[in-house]
Amino acid sequence: MCGIVGYIGHQEAYPIIINGLQRLEYRGYDSAGIALYDGTNIKLSKTKGKVSDLKNKIESEISTDGTLGIGHTRWATHGVPNDVNSHPHSSNSGDLVIIHNGIIENYDSLKKELIKRGYTFKSDTDTEVLINLIEDVQKSENLKLGKAVQIALNQVVGAYAIAVFDKKKPNEIVVAKLGSPLAIGIGDDEFFIASDASPFIEYTKNAIYLEDKEMAIIRRGKKIKVRKIENDTEVDPYIQELKLNLEQIEKGGYEHFMLKEIFEQPSAILDTFRGRLLSNEAIIKMVGVEDNMKKFLAADRIIIVACGTSWHAGLVAEYIFEDLARIPVEVEYASEFRYRNPVITEKDVVIAISQSGETADTLAAIKLAKSKGAFVFGVCNVVGSTIARETHAGAYTHAGPEIGVASTKAFTTQITVLTLIALRLARAKGTMSSSEFRHHLIELETIPGKVEEALKSDAYVETVSEIYKDSKNFLYLGRGFNFPVALEGALKLKEISYIHAEGYPAAEMKHGPIALIDEQMPVVVIATKKGHYEKVVSNIQEIKSRKGKIIGIVTKGDTSVKELADHVIEVPDTLECLSPLLTTIPLQLLSYHIAVMLNKNVDQPRNLAKSVTVE
Ligand code: M6R
């Protein structure tokens, strides 16, 4: 995790870096820092806290002039969040300065060696070890910075996206990448460095995304030189044209990114199936699926790997694939899959789901599956992300940037993409008749409008939130397609309001969780008409007889649950397999309003970060 930003050019670096850090705070926000170079002096300021704290501190601490600089927003791995452990870190001589996103796994042995050679350390970080290693290499062999960085990185085990500059070389920044993202924006005689393109989107639409094990020497006014870290060979970098625009990454009048992203879901889902779902012609067009149809059809099974909310989307997909396309599906936590010697063969298709496309565990699971000969298909939101590039083929969700740490529109758009794939495979396999297929397409096309309608419950959900905001525990229940939605609802509440919440299959309640139910316990039950409705109503009866408080998520016009529940929140009717796209909405709103009422930091909950690029 952590966000990095750098600039070298003809403009003042400080405003570009501080704004860029604010856009990257989703990657980490426990401390921040900047180093600026005015041609004579390195001016460094850093602090525990958010980028806004840094901004308040920096302007009274240093002069912010200089046309070269680097900045960092941190999610701590080595060393607690405090001023000293914040980045940038300087070498012992004070000449070299670094920012780093990632982990140097062998930092301890490197540090011991450096201590023997007389180096001292102020912080507990692995990054300070790296910058001193670079200095040691540079001094002992009297090398240029780029060469010293390359030699040092070849001694390092771990992951990194780094930017380094040297006081003695006022016109140069050296960057390198392995396992953490790094983009270089190319402007007119100026260069921008960042973890993603959002910090420089208003300055240039041209960017290079470094590949793993590549480094670049960025010199003021010169052409960028990209090299392989391992053997120094020069690489001709691909310059990508960016599609992102500024409005997409701003709050647009909403109080929080999360709320904006919840309300963006109708258009995000529409964007996901636009050009792919052609209901008039009764076809689904997805290039990545079409080009690899043979592999999908020959697959013994589909293994889905993902983490967190993306894993929940995978669970929904398990129900959809098995129901529509009759393909066996296993859904795995990427973090477990990669470590348990799983049985994978060339006849398996692995689908990796990731909003950020940078999650370390998912990436490692992909590498493992590829090494066993499986075909790996990615479902990512961030275009050009590492997972998008590491997979054999894939489909983007096209949800637009998701900044709030709690995933919302990523979840519904992932389900949309996976539904399209399942429908396409069902048609190819003949497990659905053409009229059923067409009916599903027509119904899927109505989902954006129905999500819009579900969002109208916002004010009522806010009222319900007020009643339950002080509860210490919540239970979420759902069955079938909506069991994963119960898990997702519980995760949303936990991560942004810090209230303990558990999701369960409704029928599983009687095997244990029912013991928790008393008059203090709010139970959110997803009880839509088509999902084992009568059975769920029986579960609601069981909760009621133990005096639990029932919040029912029901199909519009429902009367039975209304009689039993303390509150009901209606969603429009749809096909059972599409219902998660609607039942999710009130659960997102519930967690959002409770977190706001409890004064929590909705977009940047404690201890979390948007993309988890460490194990
Ligand atoms: O970027 P990814 O989809 O790979 O991220 C996976 C999880 O880290 C992510 O879904 C996390 O659980 C979210 N904070 C959930 O809201």
pLDDT at 328: 96
Q: Are residues 84 and 218 in the same domain?
A: yes
Instruction: Tell me the residue ranges of DSSP E strands in 472-532.
Output: 473-478, 500-505, 522-527
Pairing of strands 348-354, 375-380: parallel
Ligand 1 pocket check for 308: Cβ under 6 Å: yes
Q: Are residues 154 and 204 in the same domain?
A: yes
Ligand 1 pocket check for 588: Cβ under 6 Å: no
Helix (H) / strand (E) element for 90: namely: strand 89-90
pLDDT at 1: 67
Nearest alpha carbon to residue 195 among 23, 370, 376: 23
The CATH code of the domain that includes 344 is 3.40.50.10490
pLDDT digits (tens, 9 = 90+) for 75-120: 877 778 899 999 999 999 999 999 999 889 899 999 999 999 999 9
Of the three residues 202, 229, 246, the one that is the final residue of a domain is 246
Nearest alpha carbon to residue 360 among 210, 180, 104, 161: 180
| CA 354 to centroid of ligand 1, rounded, Å | 7
The type of residue at 576 is: E
| Residue 437 maps to a domain | no
Pairing of strands 567-571, 549-555: parallel
For 363, residues 6+ apart whose C-beta sits below 8 A from its C-beta are 179, 386, 387, 390
* CA 529 – CA 533 distance, rounded (Å): 5
Nearest alpha carbon to residue 66 among 178, 224, 220: 220
pLDDT digits (tens, 9 = 90+) for 331-383: 999 999 988 889 999 999 999 999 999 999 999 999 999 999 999 999 999 87
pLDDT at 612: 76
Give 423 or 76, the one with higher predicted confidence. Answer: 423
Q: Is 55 a catalytic residue?
A: no
- pLDDT band, residue 123 (cuts 50/70/90): very high
Of the three residues 399, 432, 465, the one that is the final residue of a domain is 432
List the residue whose alpha carbon is closest to atom 9 of ligand 1. Answer: 308
Chain mean pLDDT for the chain: 93
Q: Are residues 229 and 193 in the same domain?
A: yes
pLDDT at 206 over 80: yes
pLDDT at 512 over 90: no
Instruction: Tell me the residue ranges of DSSP E strands in 451-535.
Output: 473-478, 500-505, 522-527
Q: Are residues 256 and 371 in the same domain?
A: yes
Q: Is the peptide bond before 586 cis (omega within 30 degrees of 0)?
A: no
Q: Are residues 490 and 360 in the same domain?
A: no
Closest ligand 1 atom number to CA of residue 359: 4
Q: Are residues 232 and 306 in the same domain?
A: no
Q: Are residues 363 and 491 in the same domain?
A: no
pLDDT at 202 over 90: yes
> φ and ψ at 158, to 5 degrees?
145, -150
Range of the domain at 572: 456-603
Q: Are residues 23 and 137 in the same domain?
A: yes
Q: Are residues 45 and 168 in the same domain?
A: yes
For 542-555, what is the mean pLDDT? 91
Share of the chain above pLDDT 90, in %: 79
List the residue whose alpha carbon is closest to atom 12 of ligand 1. Answer: 308
- pLDDT band, residue 514 (cuts 50/70/90): confident
Q: Are residues 319 and 226 in the same domain?
A: no
Domain count of the fold of the chain: 3
Of the three residues 216, 246, 276, the one that is the final residue of a domain is 246
Q: Are residues 273 and 333 in the same domain?
A: yes
The CATH code of the domain that includes 65 is 3.60.20.10
* CA 31 – CA 84 distance, rounded (Å): 10
| Residue 438 maps to a domain | no
For 83, residues 6+ apart whose C-beta sits below 8 A from its C-beta are 31, 46, 47, 48
Rg (CA), the chain: 26
pLDDT at 614: 67
pLDDT at 28 over 90: no
DSSP one-letter string for 184-196: EEE-SS-EEEESS
Q: Are residues 305 and 318 in the same domain?
A: yes
* CA 465 – CA 351 distance, rounded (Å): 36
